[in-house]
Each structure stands twice: as structure tokens, then as C-alpha cells.
Amino acid sequence: MFTIYVYVLDTLADWELGHVISELNSGRFFKKGAQHVSLKMVSYSKEPIHTMGGLTIVPDCLINDIVVSKTSVLLLPGADTWNDPKHVAVIEKASEFLTLGAAVCAICGATVALANFGLLDQRPHTSNGPGFLEMVSPGYKGQSFYIDKPSVAENNLITASCTGALLWTKQIIEYLGVFQSNTLESWYEYFSTGEPKYFFALMQTLPSSTEN
């Protein structure tokens, strides 16, 4: 079983998590025999947080409850509040994940938090465009590892820009291996183009409801 820890903090950018948590929680396009996935909302306290879109999320657990293992994944969404010192603890946990070889998936403002901690200095990554991390993270030294793409998956680190949420989701699902490859490709093509032919292709990749 995979445990997906989704870090939640005030001003969380709702849309960046929309595709990935919906697909992993529903399992609607999972392949036959896929590993079970459990999502847990984690934060620095049990107090409700309020997203950028005005949603209220009550965390399931605290940072200290995170189990660091190769079947755990840490999702770090964008937010305007990453500079608050109370979030350092989850970035320290991200460092533990990366050291062990467990997956850390960071998007938008969360990439800044990783950069501030030096976690992008020696790892291929992306963010909100060339020059962005230098502008907001004075100690950033990972310029030679920066890849100018919407989302970059390299071993157990998956990073994305604020416009890369769909590709980020695809790469996370690919890392977990819970979709058939043709399901994942059709899913991505449909949601990135809106063309009906990809929807029908997606449906054709799913196991028949009559299968045992």
C-alpha cells in the first residue's frame, strides 16, 4: 500500500492538487491489481487550514506522524505562506524522504521551500521559470540542474511549475504505477487537449466491469 501525505497550509493553491488527489483517492482509472493508495492530509497542527479558493481542510495527522518509507509519498503544494518558519519541519521531513529514496513531489511555491533548504542544489528540477528561484531564494545553487519544463521527474523527486499540475500528476501516477501505461497516456492526452477521441481511448483501456 502507498501512503500519500499531502501537506496542507494556509493559502494552498487548490488547483495544483486537484487532478492528483482526485485520481489517487478515487482510483477510478486504476489498473486491475493496482496497489491500494491511502491519502492523508498532514500539517503542522490539527487546526483547520484555509485554501486560496476558500476551502477549509482539517488535517488528518501531524508532521511527526509521517512514516518515512519507500511506500510513502510526500506531496507539497504551492502556497503564499511557505516562508513561515513553522513549515521548516516538513521540509526537513522531505530531506529524509529524498535521502531514503522515497518520493517528494513539489509544485510552485513548494519548490522555493526546497530550494531554501538546499535540496535542489544537486538534483534535476524545475520551478516557475528560469531565474525564478534565484530571485526568491538567495542561497539557491542549483542553476546547473534546472530544467525548463512544466514538470520534471528525476528518480524520487518530481517538481513542477504553477502551470505544470497536469504533467506533474501524470508523472506521479507513473511513479506509483497504478495506471496501465495506455490508460495514463490517454488520460493525459484527454485532459490536456479536450479531444473526445482521447476520452473514448481512455475508456477502452479500462478493465471490463464483467472481469473478476
Which residues are catalytically annotated?
108
| Lookup: cell for 83 | 516562508
DSSP state of 146: B
| Lookup: cell for 88 | 521548516
CA distance 78 to 178: 25
Q: Coil, strand or helix: which one is 50?
A: strand
| Paired sense of beta strands 56-57 and 49-50, if any | antiparallel
CA distance 201 to 186: 6
Q: Taking a C-beta distance cutoff of 8 angstroms, is the pair 78, 181 a contact?
A: no
Q: Taking a C-beta distance cutoff of 8 angstroms, is the pair 90, 44 a contact?
A: yes
- 36 CB-side CA count, 13 A: 2
Between the CA of residue 70 and those of 29, 38, 141, what are the distances in Å? 23, 14, 27
